[in-house]
Structure formats: structure tokens, C-alpha cells
Amino acid sequence: MDAFLTWFFDFMTDFLQAIWKGVSGLFGAISFLFNFKSIFNQLANYKSNFDVLGWVMCVLVIILIYGIMVGLVFLIVIAARKYIRFRRTLVGNEDLLEEIADLHRDVVRLNAEKERIINMKIDPTGVTYDQLRDMFEANRPEVEAAAVTAGEQGSTENGEQTLSVGSPDDKRFFRLSAVDDKYTYYVAPDYDRTMSLEQICDDIRNFACSRSNLYYELKTIRLMIAGLASTKLILLQGISGTGKTSLPYMLGKYFQNDATIASVQPSWRDRTELFGYFNEFTKKFNETEVLKRIYEASYNDDINVIILDEMNIARVEYYFAEMLSILEMPNPEEWKIELVPSSWPGDPAHLPDGKLQIPQNVWYIGTANNDDSTFAVSDKVYDRALVINLDSKGVPFTAPDTKPKFISYSYIEELYAKAINEHPVDPKTLENISKLDLYVIEKFRIAFGNRIMKQLQVFVPVFVACGGTELEGIDYILATKVFRKFEGLNLSLIRDEIRGLILFMDSLFGKGTMKECTEYLQRLQKSMY
């Protein structure tokens, strides 16, 4: 045993001395490399015998040795960083798995609680609805905590993690509040107040041609501008590819306030598709781009265009019903939509009592394809909107380069009022329209209606100010507002009466003057055979 202990002592002594020599040798080598005085003294003993090749080899050796040392240090640092990162990942994964397990247990417990509540028998002597509601409210924080995953966490300014569940202290109208911030220091542009309606129509047509290679008849532009004087809703209908969506989009470009496009979906059933809805769970209002644009219009005097693309792919009288009623109210102060029942602290500035005031400077322009994939537009919509038929592509022409303009809505309204004052419908023409109304009532049991006459007395003067003629404007209104209703009649029974109607209009307004009405009635005649 004494011999073994003696051997073991000698073996461990030699082993530890070898380790020490290795460690001391490594540090000695490092210290030698940084002992530049010793290196230069050693080099001085041999430099007198160096030739050119010797000096080159000396420099290369020094660079190589120092490069190897730097590379070793770099590799050691990289290895240490990877190890630390690996350890952090392991710790993070373990924490995440533990958190997921806790959330899973909470979900299982809450599901069991839900099942227990559902299976409870509710009777007049048992648990009441109010008690059930109180039980749910008591468990709401736990439900919200279980529903939020680790990825739904956000960072506060001091770096602490917070859940993104809404609370009454948060802004429930995020987009509308952002609009408030945007207009805090808003400065209105320098609007052009020198152009007439006719010049604006010419300018829009030339702008579409020169900047977008879009070709529209001048009459189409006049109908658009005059129609928006009589109603806030324009309906562009016709075959696909005739530029129905491009026209209002280009209009937004011309006024330097891009249009908002809402692509109507077949599932649209009510106003929430346009304006959004309040989410009771998150306590946030799901805002749409249409809502944001309408709200923003209350801050400016720009012309705001909202495009309802493929408007009749769902039933217009369903999702746009409330707007159709509001836009008909004679007092614009009553144009209000209730978004939420009451106001909260932090709600947008222009949303008093949770009600949205629909501003005047918004134009709604819908497009409609007439095919088997869409719904027929109802009379309710046709009566309130102005219809512009785009049944053919525009003929290319050459136009001078035309720049967009800043034109305010208030200036356009002034031009509308001026046109109505300067170009009222001729009393003789109104008398002839009354005679035509009586004739249509007697022969076809269809009346013009007060709404149509009110629109006519605004549309026609503005159409004249845009460069058209009085009879041309009346012709278009009668064709699209009155005679369109003939499609709902039994055409076989009125076939003989249509010819007499055309002759009667010629006697009232002059032969061949009512081109739109005559062409439309003749198409109806041809469809009967």
C-alpha cells in the first residue's frame, strides 16, 4: 500500500506540473507576442545579415503568427456567444412551455365552468339571468387572459410586457383618433377659385386623357358633375371594361385627394360592412376605411370620393339602406349615424355622444355590372341616385397635358348655387313636363313624383352651366328616372302606346330633341318582338 501511495503522489505531481507548464507556456507565448521590446532586440541581432528575401519572409512570418492569434481569439468569442445564446434559447423555451401549460390549464378550467353554467337549470325560483351575467363578469379577466397568447403581448415604454386586450382606458377608435392627431396642425391648401363649371368639366376630361390615357365623352363628365349637384349618390352602370371604376378614381386624382375604394362583397347585409362595429370582447371599434374617410372629411374642405365597387354584387338596399335615408333628409344637420350608444373618455373629437355627423363634402359613386352574377338594383336606389350608363369604350383623342387642381367643395357648392340662380328651367318647359306627366299617368299609370322633379330642377341648371343644353338635361333625366320604370310593366300591353308617347314628346319639345328618351323607348319596342 505504501508503494501505491508513493506512485500516486509522483504521478499526480508530474501530471499537475505538466498542466502548469502548458498553461504557463500558453500565457508565456501570449506575453512574448506582446513583448515588442524583446522581439525588436532579437530582430536587431540578425537584421544585419538579412537580404531582401529575408526581410520579406520575416514580415510574412510575423503577420501570419499575429493573424493566427487574432483568429483564435475571434473563434473563442464566437463560440462563447453561441453558447450563451443557446442557453438563453433553452431557458426561454422552458418558460414558454410552462406558460402554455398554465394557459391550457386555465382554458380547461374555464371550459368546465362554462359547461357547468350551461347545464344549470334556470327557473323562476332558481338562478336568474342577472346572476349568470354576474358570474360571467366575475370570470371575464381570466377568460381574457386565457385567450391572449404569448405572441399577442406588446412592450411598454420601460420594456415591461403588457397584454394587448382592450380596456376602457385605451382608445377604442384607433383610426379616427389618428385622424384627430393628423389634423392638429393641418393647413388647408391654396384652393383654385377661378374656374367655371364648364372649364372644370373640360379640364377633368383632358386630365383623364393626358395623365391616365382614359377617354370619356364630354357629356359623361357633365352628367357626373351635374348629377352630384342633385344627389350625393351616382351609379355608373354598363358592361365591364368601359371605365366605370376608373372614372371616379381619376376624379379623386384630379382633385388631389385620392378616392377611397370599398369593394362590395356578396356577404354584405347591413351597415356594419361599411362603417364597422363595436367589439364587446376587446372593447374596440372595428373601423373601416369608409368610416375613416367620412370622419376625415369633417376636418377639411376637400372633395372626398368614396367608390362602392361592384355595388350590386350584394343588395344595395340592405347594406346602404341607412345612408339612402339619411342623404334624403332636407336638413344636413340631421345627417347622423349612431356608432356607439355613448361617449367614452378618449373618443374622437368629432364623435359627440357616439354619433357620426355625415359631412356634405363626400360623394358616393357606385359601379354596377348588369349580368347574371349581380342583383337587380331596386327602384328605391334608382330614385335616389343619378344613373350614368357607360355602354361603350371612349374614343381616343389628343389632349394637352393637364395638371390636377386643388378645388374646394365649398367653391363647387357656390358654382352650383350660381348655376341654379342663373339657369333656372324655363317655365314653358316645366309646363310641358307637367303635360307629359299627365299623359304618362293616363296611358301607363306611372307618375314622375316630387323627388324626380326636385332633382330635375337642380340637375338641369347645373348641366347647362357645365356646357350642356336645357332639353338635353331634361331628356336624360326623363330617360333614366321615368321611362326606366317601363321595364316593370307588361311590355306587350303598352307596345302600341309607346309610339304615341314618342309622337307626343315631339309635339311638346320639338321633333328629335328628346334623343335619349326616344332611343330608350325604341329599344323597349324592339325587345317586344
Instruction: Out of 113, 132, 151, pick the residue that ends a domain.
Output: 151
223 and 352 belong to one structural domain: yes
| Amino acid code (one letter) for 510 | G
The x, y and z cell numbers of residue 168, run together, are 376602457
Can you list the positions of beta strands (E) in 126-251? 153-155, 161-163, 233-238
- CA Rg, the chain, in Å? 40
Query: What's the CA gap between 193 and 238, in Å, rounded?
Result: 34
Highest mean pLDDT among 127-136, 407-416, 508-517: 407-416
Q: 26 lies in a domain?
A: no
Mean pLDDT of the chain: 84
The pairing of beta strand 304-309 with beta strand 362-369: parallel
Among 471, 171, 192, residue whose Cα is nearest residue 348: 171
206 and 343 belong to one structural domain: yes
Q: 100 lies in a domain?
A: yes
SS3 label, residue 232: coil
Among 315, 441, 455, 462, residue whose Cα is nearest residue 378: 315
Specify the range with the lowest mean pLDDT, choosing from 25-29, 192-196, 292-296, 416-420.
Answer: 25-29
Q: 519 lies in a domain?
A: yes
**Residues comprising the chain, all counted:** 529
Q: What is the pLDDT of residue 116?
A: 67
264 and 334 belong to one structural domain: yes
| Amino acid code (one letter) for 47 | K
Question: Looking at the DSSP assignment, which residues form a beta bridge with residue 243?
Answer: none
495: confidence class by pLDDT, cuts 50, 70, 90: confident
Q: pTM for the complete prediction?
A: 0.68
Q: What is the pLDDT of residue 396?
A: 92
Q: Going by C-beta distance under 8 Å and a sequence separation of 6 or more, which residues neighbour residue 328?
A: 384
Query: What's the CA gap between 183 and 185, in Å, rounded?
Result: 5
Among 366, 348, 364, residue whose Cα is nearest residue 356: 348
Sign of CA dihedral 396, 399, 404, 408: negative
Q: What is the pLDDT of residue 117?
A: 67
Q: What is the pLDDT of residue 115?
A: 65
Contact present, 172 and 284 (Cβ < 8 Å): yes
Among 297, 214, 294, residue whose Cα is nearest residue 262: 294
Q: How far apart are the first and last CA of the chain?
A: 128
Specify the range with the lowest mean pLDDT, choosing from 127-131, 189-193, 334-338, 454-458.
Answer: 127-131
Query: What's the CA gap between 107 and 241, in Å, rounded?
Result: 53
91: confidence class by pLDDT, cuts 50, 70, 90: low
Q: Tell me: the pLDDT tens digits for 140-169? A: 455 445 444 433 443 333 343 333 344 444
Query: What's the CA gap between 146 and 106, in Å, rounded?
Result: 6
The x, y and z cell numbers of residue 110, run together, are 374555464
Q: 178 lies in a domain?
A: no
Cβ atoms within 10 Å of 414's Cβ, excluding its own: 12
216 and 365 belong to one structural domain: yes
pLDDT of residue 443 exceeding 80: yes
444 and 299 belong to one structural domain: no
Q: Which helix (H) or strand (E) holds 386?
A: strand 386-389
Q: Tell me: the pLDDT tens digits for 415-429? A: 999 999 999 999 999
Task: Give how many domains the chain has, as a whole number.
Answer: 3
Contact present, 191 and 407 (Cβ < 8 Å): yes
Cβ atoms within 10 Å of 237's Cβ, excluding its own: 22
Q: Tell me: the pLDDT tens digits for 295-312? A: 999 999 999 999 999 999
Q: What is the pLDDT of residue 257?
A: 95
SS3 label, residue 260: strand
Instruction: Out of 121, 151, 181, pick the residue that ends a domain.
Output: 151
Work out the average pLDDT over 266-285: 92
Q: Going by C-beta distance under 8 Å and a sequence separation of 6 or more, which residues neighbour residue 32?
A: 38, 39
Q: 404 lies in a domain?
A: no
| Percent helix, strand and coil across the chain, each to the nearest 5 | 60, 10, 30
216 and 362 belong to one structural domain: yes
Q: Tell me: the pLDDT tens digits for 198-255? A: 999 999 999 999 999 999 999 999 999 999 999 999 999 988 888 899 999 999 999 9
> Residue 54 gets which letter from DSSP?
H
Contact present, 322 and 277 (Cβ < 8 Å): no
Q: 79 lies in a domain?
A: yes
pLDDT of residue 372 exceeding 80: no
Q: Tell me: the pLDDT tens digits for 43-73? A: 777 767 777 777 778 778 778 887 887 888 8
486: confidence class by pLDDT, cuts 50, 70, 90: confident
375 and 433 belong to one structural domain: no
Q: What is the pLDDT of residue 122?
A: 42
Domain that residue 496 falls in: 423-527
Query: What's the CA gap between 11 and 23, in Å, rounded?
Result: 19
CATH for 268 = 3.40.50.300
107: confidence class by pLDDT, cuts 50, 70, 90: confident
Sign of CA dihedral 483, 487, 493, 495: positive
Q: 182 lies in a domain?
A: no
Q: Going by C-beta distance under 8 Å and a sequence separation of 6 or more, which residues neighbour residue 464?
A: 419, 423, 470, 473
Query: What's the CA gap between 310 and 315, in Å, rounded?
Result: 11
Among 400, 404, 289, 303, residue whose Cα is nearest residue 361: 303
Query: What's the CA gap between 136 and 110, in Å, rounded?
Result: 10
124 and 71 belong to one structural domain: yes
456 and 383 belong to one structural domain: no
Query: What's the CA gap between 300 and 360, in Å, rounded?
Result: 11
385 and 464 belong to one structural domain: no
Listing DSSP states for 368-419 in one string gives EE-STTSPPPPHHHHHHSEEEE--SPPPP------------HHHHHHHHHHH
Q: Tell me: the pLDDT tens digits for 385-401? A: 999 998 888 889 999 99
113 and 208 belong to one structural domain: no
Q: What is the pLDDT of residue 161?
A: 36
Among 148, 175, 361, 171, residue whose Cα is nearest residue 276: 175
271 and 361 belong to one structural domain: yes
Instruction: Out of 389, 406, 441, pick the residue that ends a domain.
Output: 389
pLDDT of residue 185 exceeding 80: yes
Q: 292 lies in a domain?
A: yes
Q: What is the pLDDT of residue 526?
A: 79
The x, y and z cell numbers of residue 468, run together, are 350642356
